[in-house]
C-alpha cells in the first residue's frame, strides 16, 4: 500500500494555479474568448455543439483546473441518434484524475494513496499480477484518502472497446489488464474525490461509447442555409459595445476658441457627422 501525505498550501480557497497567455482560462471569465474558441474548433469541436455544452465545459475547466489547451481535458462529440447531432461530453485521461487528486490533497493537507491493484479471472479468483494471455474478467482498485478506503471494481465486458465483430480494439486488445485497471482507478478516485471529479470521465471509461457509435453512424449533414440566430460560437463572444455618439454641436458651443472649433469640425467631418 502506498499513501502520500502532502503539506497544505495557502492559495485562495485552494484555487488551482492559472498560467498566463492568450489561451489561459481565467477563473472569472464567463465565456470562451475568440482566441480560445478558435483553438477549440481546431481540436475537432463541430459547429453543432450546443452553447450550453460549451458553457458547461468552461465551468468544468475552471472547477478542475485542467487545461484544455495543454490536452489535459477534452470535449468529445459522439453521434446521438436520439438528438440527431453529436452530443459532447467532457473527457480526460487517468493522468488528469491523478493531477486533481494530488492537487486537492496538497491544498487540504490530507493523505492519499492506493492499495495494490488486483485482477479477477473468469472463475472469480483475484490475482495481484495478470500474466494470462486472455483479458481479465475485472480489476479492483482501492484509493485511501485520509485513512478511509474507497474501493471500485470494473468489469472488462462493460468497458472494453470493440470492433463491429466484437473483438477488442486498440489498447484494449494490446493491454487489456492495464486498460481495465485504469477504469477501476477512475471509479475509485471519483468515490474518494466526488466533488472534484464529478461530471468528467476518463477516456478509458468512455471508449465503450464508441461501440454503439459504430452501429449508428452519423448521416451526412446537408448544407444549411444561413441562419439568422447566432450559433454556439457566436454566443460565446461578448456583444460588441458601440461607442456613444458625440454631440459635436454642443462641444463647438462650449469651445474656448476658434482653433478648437476648427479641430472639432475636422473630427466631425471624418466621422461623417
Domain edge (last residue) among 215, 235, 259: 215
Distances (CA, A) of 125 to 12, 39, 47: 48, 48, 49
Same domain for 154 and 258, yes or no, is no
CA gap 197, 191 in Å, rounded: 9
Domain edge (last residue) among 174, 196, 215: 215
Which has the closest alpha carbon to 158: 189, 175, 135? 135
Question: What cell does 31 get?
Answer: 465565456
In a domain, 258, yes or no: yes
Same domain for 81 and 166, yes or no, is yes
CA gap 69, 58 in Å, rounded: 12
Same domain for 112 and 151, yes or no, is yes
Same domain for 253 and 164, yes or no, is no
Which stretches of the chain drop beneath a pLDDT of 50? 7-17, 218, 222-228, 240, 242-243
CA gap 59, 198 in Å, rounded: 12
Same domain for 31 and 149, yes or no, is yes
In a domain, 17, yes or no: yes
In a domain, 220, yes or no: no
Same domain for 256 and 156, yes or no, is no
39 in Cβ contact with 224 (< 8 Å): no
Same domain for 109 and 172, yes or no, is yes
What is the tally of structural domains in the chain? 2
139 in Cβ contact with 184 (< 8 Å): yes
In a domain, 208, yes or no: yes
Residues of the domain holding 266: 243-271
Same domain for 31 and 163, yes or no, is yes
In a domain, 236, yes or no: no
In a domain, 232, yes or no: no
Same domain for 208 and 250, yes or no, is no
Domain edge (last residue) among 172, 195, 215: 215
Which has the closest alpha carbon to 37: 241, 234, 229, 239? 234
Same domain for 210 and 256, yes or no, is no
Task: Find the DSSP H helices in the chain.
Answer: 34-42, 51-64, 94-108, 156-159, 171-174, 176-192, 194-197, 203-206, 209-215, 232-236, 248-253, 258-271
- Quote the pLDDT of residue 215: 54
Same domain for 203 and 251, yes or no, is no
pLDDT per position as a tens digit, 64-95:
899 999 888 999 998 888 888 889 999 998 99
Beta bridge partners of 86: 79
Give the H or E element holding residue 144: strand 138-145
- Quote the pLDDT of residue 1: 63
In a domain, 76, yes or no: yes
Same domain for 184 and 80, yes or no, is yes
In a domain, 221, yes or no: no
- Quote the pLDDT of residue 226: 44
Amino acid at each position: 500500500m502506498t499513501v502520500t501525505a502532502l503539506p497544505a498550501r495557502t492559495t485562495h480557497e485552494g484555487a488551482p494555479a492559472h498560467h498566463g497567455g492568450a489561451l489561459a482560462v481565467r477563473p472569472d471569465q464567463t465565456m470562451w474568448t475568440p482566441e480560445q474558441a478558435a483553438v477549440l474548433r481546431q481540436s475537432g469541436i463541430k459547429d453543432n455543439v450546443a452553447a450550453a455544452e460549451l458553457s458547461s465545459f468552461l465551468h468544468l475547466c475552471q472547477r478542475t483546473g485542467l487545461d484544455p489547451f495543454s490536452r489535459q481535458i477534452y470535449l468529445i462529440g459522439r453521434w446521438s441518434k436520439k438528438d440527431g447531432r453529436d452530443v459532447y461530453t467532457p473527457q480526460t485521461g487517468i493522468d488528469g484524475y491523478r493531477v486533481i487528486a494530488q492537487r486537492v490533497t496538497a491544498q487540504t493537507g490530507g493523505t492519499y494513496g492506493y492499495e495494490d491493484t488486483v485482477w479477477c479471472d473468469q472463475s472469480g479468483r483475484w490475482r495481484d499480477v495478470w500474466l494470462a494471455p486472455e483479458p481479465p474478467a475485472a480489476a479492483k482498485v482501492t484509493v485511501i484518502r485520509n485513512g478511509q478506503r474507497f474501493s471500485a471494481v470494473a468489469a472488462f465486458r462493460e468497458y472494453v472497446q470493440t470492433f463491429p465483430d466484437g473483438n477488442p480494439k486498440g489498447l484494449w486488445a494490446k493491454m487489456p489488464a492495464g486498460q481495465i485497471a485504469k477504469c477501476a482507478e477512475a471509479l475509485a478516485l471519483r468515490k474518494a474525490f466526488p466533488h472534484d471529479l464529478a461530471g468528467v470521465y476518463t477516456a478509458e471509461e468512455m471508449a465503450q461509447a464508441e461501440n454503439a457509435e459504430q452501429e449508428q453512424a452519423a448521416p451526412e449533414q446537408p448544407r444549411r442555409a444561413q441562419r439568422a440566430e447566432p450559433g454556439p460560437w457566436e454566443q460565446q463572444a461578448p456583444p460588441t459595445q458601440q461607442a456613444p455618439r458625440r454631440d459635436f454641436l454642443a462641444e463647438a458651443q462650449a469651445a474656448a476658441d476658434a482653433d478648437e472649433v476648427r479641430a472639432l469640425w475636422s473630427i466631425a467631418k471624418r466621422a461623417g457627422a
